[in-house]
Amino acid sequence: MHSNSYRLLKIKDILFYETDAEHELSIADIQEKLKRYLPEETFDQRTIKRDLMTLEEAGFEIVRNKGKYGKILYSHQARLFEVYQLRLLVDAILSARFITTKEKNHLIEKVKQLTSHAIAKTLPEPVVFSQSVNLDYDLIKLNIDHVHRAISKRRVLTYKYGRYNMDKEFEWRRDGETYYVEPYALIWQNDLYYLIGRFQPTNEIRHYRLDRIRDIHISDETFKKDENFHLQQYIDKSFHMFSGENIRIRIKFHASLVNVVLDRFGKDANIRKVNDEAFILSTQAKLSDGLINWILTWGSRAKVLSPDYLVQQVKEKISQMYAIYH
């Protein structure tokens, strides 16, 4: 014999997982579905109505609508996440190439438990996406956990760091010495996780890929974060392609690249139509190899007009590329 509390919980589950704005249940429907959990018990519709009132008094929202012939239909529509938000979460999981397919399935099943079964069925399945990259996901999970806890506790991290050589062998940096790093932030950039922190031996702010960290430990040593450190500025300087001296540039682009330019410089970018085939961008940018490489990405569809020294640098880069093939 189950308690009344058990019945209440099952009614709540039925409403949470089997109803939403487009799926409603009558008292008779709820009564029928309860038999799956309480096959040997009998209860009339008045009991279920009282249970619904009890759930509402406890703060569980229940919506009542009139159906055909005046029948009252019940549903639960208040969700922690809207459908588009669930889609954002699922797509973020699917696009993370370092997460294994098995783990993606596991995570998405958990996300689906945040909504009704009907809505959950509309969310994308991992099978339609490409396989994950060949990274040690178990290692990354461990490193994420350690870095996250160290940041929250303001504890110094110790670990070893390395990278792969051309023989695909993992080699230690600094001859395998232990790194002592004050962790400031953990970010996801370019499909990889990075630790940003202060490297104690040189007192420099650096970033480290989590998949290249080994033997990580949270030490007992605490630290005080530098108040002059600005995370966004560091990310802009270290991860984005524009990270040098501010200069005024003019570049002539083929008309087909207008959306590329607006995506990069924003919709307020100063562009002037030359003719049906071209336009000129005039804007401030940061002089860097990244800027030059981005310009060269578009081949003959982009031509730097000014300043002259940027034109010269682009020419030199093109000459270097030409020399490789001749």
CA atoms within 13 A on the CB side of 245: 4
Q: Are 230 and 275 in contact (CB under 8 A)?
A: no
pLDDT at site 132: 52
Q: Note the pLDDT tens digit of each residue in 113-146.
A: 999 999 999 888 765 555 555 567 889 889 999 9
Joined tokens for residue 223: 């630290």
Q: Rounded CA gap, 324 and 326, in Å?
A: 6
Q: Distance of alpha carbon 9 from its chain centroid, rounded?
A: 33
pTM beyond 0.85: the answer is no
Q: Which residues are CB-neighbours of 173 under 8 A, at least 6 positions away?
A: 161, 162, 163
Residue 167: phi, psi to the nearest 5?
Answer: -90, 10
- How many other CB atoms sit within 10 Å of the CB of residue 260? 16
User: For residue 2, what pLDDT is reported?
Assistant: 60
User: Do residues 27 and 73 touch, judged by C-beta distance below 8 A?
Assistant: no
The pLDDT assigned to 262 comes to 87
pLDDT at 157: 98
Question: 241-279: per-residue pLDDT in tens?
Answer: 455 678 899 999 999 999 989 888 877 889 999 999 999
For 263, the token pair is 């995506």
> Which pLDDT score is estimated for 256?
94
pLDDT of residue 159: 98
pLDDT score of 130 = 54
Question: Running DSSP on this structure, what letter comes out for residue 229?
Answer: -
DSSP string, 74-112: EE----SS-HHHHHHHHHHHHH-TTS-HHHHHHHHHHHH
Contact predicate 99/107, CB 8 Å: yes
Q: Is the peptide bond before 307 cis (omega within 30 degrees of 0)?
A: yes
Q: Which residues of the chain have pLDDT under 70?
A: 1-2, 126-135, 240-244
Query: What is residue 94's predicted lDDT score, i.e. its pLDDT?
Result: 85
